[in-house]
Amino acid sequence: MRKAQTLAEAAESPTSTRDRILDAAARIFRDKGYADSTMNDLASALNMKAASIYYHFKSKDEIVEQVLNEGTARVFRSVKCAIAQLPDDVNAKVKIGVAIREHLHVLHSDSDYTAANVRIFPEAPTDVVKRHMFERRLYSKFWVELIELGKKAGEIDQSVDAEMAHMFIVGAMNWSTQWYSPKIHNIEDMSDAVDSLVSKGLFTSGP
Amino acid sequence: MRKAQTLAEAAESPTSTRDRILDAAARIFRDKGYADSTMNDLASALNMKAASIYYHFKSKDEIVEQVLNEGTARVFRSVKCAIAQLPDDVNAKVKIGVAIREHLHVLHSDSDYTAANVRIFPEAPTDVVKRHMFERRLYSKFWVELIELGKKAGEIDQSVDAEMAHMFIVGAMNWSTQWYSPKIHNIEDMSDAVDSLVSKGLFTSGP
DNA sequence: GTCTATACTTCGATAGAC
DNA sequence: GTCTATCGAAGTATAGAC
């Protein structure tokens, strides 16, 4: 997890065992998916035995729920923060460009939680997914509002369905977890490609 | 499966048991993913017992490999065929629009195999995936060539990375398996949205 | 070709010692 | 808090009758 801690915790123990388990789970879920990651896999990565994990979590489902929620929370927090730091008068086009860059950056080089979230979401237990949808809806709402902002300002055509458009944009980026390789691609180029596609499409309209 | 059969087969038995198993597998894999679909689930859907399946297939892996390959083959065949039926002189923009429409149509209303393919690809066994990549690369190559065609004709800017662009476009569409609901959305609107995004982006360049 | 019965394995989870 | 030992539930796959 490695999020905000009390000063005392930060002083003596850099991360709690609970958080170390979650960190390992996020990385392993990202790499192998949910079903193929066993409690023993998590324990081995931490030089522990599987039974010890049950002192910190009551079930595998509790772990996956934490990883899912933290994954969405992290990308949302980073994107929100990046946009908040822009001058007040920037237009929707710039804001969406920043959101694209930040989303891809968190997904591929900042947070195992977000990458794990994208991978394990479809195979997570039904009741876990049900509760997790609350977090996802908040993040979706943020994107939809960015697009609506552009529509109000006349930057984006009124005929654009903001719900759908945001799904295609975020989906295109999330799908990159299936093909992105740091040895072949780099995040800057990917960001430019998505930003350009969203800004002006693939085709040159000019003469 | 339900693909081409000999005349004799078509006459007396509309589909072989082997193909009925594959059809059921495609639908169940699409709905529940690979790990959560048991041999018993497949058998139940066909009013059979799990053991009977092993007369037709030697393992669950053999089934998933067939479903994966057939999934890519079907969408590829349909898209290729749709474009082949266009007049010779249509430009890349029209061709890509047709490819988008056909891909979404196959994915959401034509083939459980293609939808299953998109869902179970990340959790399929490593050696199965390895062999399946051959099919995927053929389909990818087709999309990349469509984009290169547009670049050669001057319709698409030379700076566009065709490999990446095709991944983002196909990825945006494939991701829709995670949110598309026939009760809320319709495939025509989705096709229009993707086509518009690819053609001219989200933002109005003009005055 | 399909069945019943069952072998074999893996994995989540618990009990209880240390 | 972590360990060893083990239970119990699934689930893949096989053996052999019909």
Does pLDDT of A177 surpass 60?
A: yes
Structure tokens at B13: 């038995």
Proportion of chain A above pLDDT 90, given as a percent: 92
CB burial readout A6-24, b (16+ within 10 A) else e: eeeeeeeeebeeebbbbbb
φ, ψ dihedrals at A186, nearest 5°: -135, 155
* Cα–Cα distances in angstroms (integers) from residue B129 to residues A121, A200, B136, in the given order: 20, 35, 10
Which residues lie closer than 8 Å to B198 by C-beta, 6 or more apart? A197, A201, A202, A203, B96, B97, B100, B169
pLDDT at B6 (0 to 100): 52
Give dist(CA A2, CA A23) in Å, integer: 8
pTM of the predicted model, to two decimals? 0.95
CA–CA distance, A77 with A83 (Å, rounded to integer): 10
The reply to whether A58 has its C-beta less than 7 Å from any atom of strand C is yes
CB contact under 8 A, B168 and A160: no
Task: List pLDDT tens digits, range B88-127.
Answer: 999 999 999 999 999 999 999 999 999 999 999 999 999 9
pLDDT tens digits, one per residue of A22-56: 999 999 999 999 999 999 999 999 999 999 999 99
The answer to whether A114 faces chain B, any CB pair under 8 Å, is no
For residue B202, list chain A residues with Cβ-Cβ distance below 8 A.
Answer: 96, 147, 150, 156, 160, 165, 198-199
Q: Which residue has the tokens 């035995």?
A: A49
Q: What pLDDT shows up at residue B205?
A: 75
Q: Could you give the CA distance from residue B146 to residue B126 in angstroms, rounded to a whole number?
A: 30
β-partners of residue A203 are: B156
- Nearest-by-Cβ selection for B194 from A168, A174, A204: A168
Residues B190, A147: C-beta atoms closer than 8 Å:
no
- The dihedral over CA atoms of B91, B93, B99, B102, expressed in degrees to the nearest 10, equals -100
Residues whose CB falls within 8 Å of the CB of residue A61, separated by 6 or more in sequence, listed in order: A125, A128
Q: Using CA atoms, how far apart are residues B91 and A173, in angstroms rounded to an integer?
A: 28
Give one word for A47, left, alpha or beta, with left for phi > 0 and alpha for psi -120 to 50.
left
pLDDT of residue A1 exceeding 80, the answer is no
Chain B contact for A200 (CB, 8 A cutoff): yes
Phi, psi of A81 (to 5 degrees): -65, -40
Mean pLDDT, 10 residues at a time, over chain B (207 residues)?
50 81 98 98 98 98 98 98 97 98 98 98 98 98 98 97 98 98 98 98 81
Between CA A172 and C1' D13 the distance (Å) reads 40
**According to the model, what pLDDT value does residue A205 have?**
76
A168–B96 CB contact, under 8 Å: no
**A105: Cα within 13 Å, side-chain hemisphere:** 13
Which pLDDT does position A183 carry in this prediction? 98
Cα three-residue angle B87-B90-B94, rounded to 5 degrees: 115
pLDDT at A207: 54
Q: Does B158 touch chain A (CB under 8 A)?
A: no
Kindly report the nearest CA distance between residue B8 and chain A, in angstroms.
Answer: 42
What is the pLDDT at residue A13? 52
Residue A8's pLDDT is: 47
Q: Which nucleotides of C are covered by protein (CB under 7 A)?
A: 1-5, 10-16
What does the pLDDT read at residue A91?
Answer: 97
What is the tens place of the pLDDT at every residue in B49-61?
999 999 999 999 9
